[in-house]
Structures are given as structure tokens and as C-alpha cells.
Amino acid sequence: MSIRETPEESLARIVHDVRQCRVCAEHLPLGPRPLIHVSTTAKILIASQAPGTKAHLSGKSFYDPSGKRLREWLALTEDDFYDTAKVAILPMGLCYPGRLPNGGDKPPRPECAPLWRNTVLSHMPGIRLTLLVGSYSQAHTLGKGAVHERVRNFRDYLPTYFPLPHPSWRTGVWEKRAPWFQADVIPALRRIVHTLLDGGDTGNVMRHIKDEAMQA
């Protein structure tokens, strides 16, 4: 950061550089279009997988049914979800990676996170909670492990992280076999997120959530 740059200007310069990135261009079926939604003031970071086709075409992360499901989990309006002053979205892969032969999207490009992630995060001092959405973000941050177990034991990762499954249509099927997700995980998620965004005492809320598990 130059002496004359404000933190906001420094992050804006990095975001500009990210959006010009063409490192993976030859591997991207729809071409490069890095999606990044960040600010120096955001309190919540959504660390997701990679954009899908609808997100790529719209230029907005989670602008698809999976995003609708995620917003329902968080109980956030679309306006609040895309308000980067409050919520940042930084996928592990910033561009749509293409489809697998048997369906589903390919994994995030492996070049992306090592190239950009730490640089961007170092300019986001406001982040208080990171939602680790899906296996790729959890593996990158926490190492190998089962998403199911991490989500069920989300309290173990507070106050810094909150593991979540990827909100694809497949998760709807999984939720029916995991009633504890809606009964336990989602209410805690909403309490923490809304307390953070409202400027409340998240430490007190998180202590209550951990105490509830001990008393159950």
C-alpha cells in the first residue's frame, strides 16, 4: 500500500487486479470473469466454492437457487446479502470452472486461492466471522475432514469460523436425513449473524450457544 492510499483505495486496487486476472483462462469454458464482493468494513465473510453458470452470467455470486437457499439459512434479504459493507463473498475459485462429465461443477481452479486469497483477506480488517461453505473452503482452511461432522460440531470452530454445507439442491435431500441442521445449526447461525450485523455482543451470544450444547 502506498503512503497516499487509504485502506479502501488499496483494497479497490487489489480488486481491480483480481478482475483482470487471466491465469486460468485456457481452462475456463466460459472465459475468465472473477467474482469478488469485498470491503474493508464487512463483518461476515462467505468463503464459498466457485461461481456457477448463473452467477458467472450475472456477475453476482450466489445469484441462483443455491444463493436463495443460503439467504434463507441466514435469514438475510437479498439487499443485505449483497451489501459488501456488511457481507463479503470470496470464493475459493473466483471464476466458473466448468462442468464435470457426470454432472455438477468442477472443483475451483487450484491456482486461484494461493494467488489471491491471502492478499485480499489481509485488506479486510473488519471480518469477525467466516462462513466456510462447502468442502473446498473447509479443506483449504481446516484441512481434510467430513463436512457433515464439521457442520454438526460447528461450535468447535466458533468464534472465528462457522462450517456449512454447500447450499445446492442436493443439500435439501441431506437435510431430511439430518433434522438437527434446521433444529440446532440454523437458529445458532442466524443469532450470530444478525447479532454481528446489528452491532451486538457476539461473545455473549456464542457463550450462550455453547452453553446450550452442554445442557442438552
Question: What residue segments make up the domains of the chain, in order of their start?
Answer: 7-215
Please determine, for residue 31, whether its predicted confidence score (pLDDT) is greater than 90.
yes
Name the architecture of domain 7-215: 3-Layer(aba) Sandwich (3.40)
Residue that has been written with the C-alpha cell 455453547 in this structure: 210
**Alpha helix (H) ranges present in the chain?**
7-19, 53-58, 65-74, 78-81, 112-121, 135-142, 147-152, 169-177, 180, 186-197, 202-215
Rounded to 5°, angle at Cα 50 from 44 and 40: 30
For position 211, what pLDDT does the model report? 85
Q: What is the pLDDT of residues 127-153, one digit of tens each?
A: 999 999 999 999 999 999 999 999 999
pLDDT above 70: percentage of residues in the chain:
98
Please determine, for residue 194, whether its predicted confidence score (pLDDT) is greater than 60.
yes
Please determine, for residue 34, whether its predicted confidence score (pLDDT) is greater than 80.
yes
Residue that has been written with the C-alpha cell 450475472 in this structure: 58
For position 216, what pLDDT does the model report? 60
Residue that has been written with the C-alpha cell 470464493 in this structure: 91
Confidence of residue 172 (pLDDT cuts 50, 70, 90): confident
Please determine, for residue 1, whether its predicted confidence score (pLDDT) is greater than 60.
no
Report the amino acid identity of residue 148: H
For position 170, what pLDDT does the model report? 84
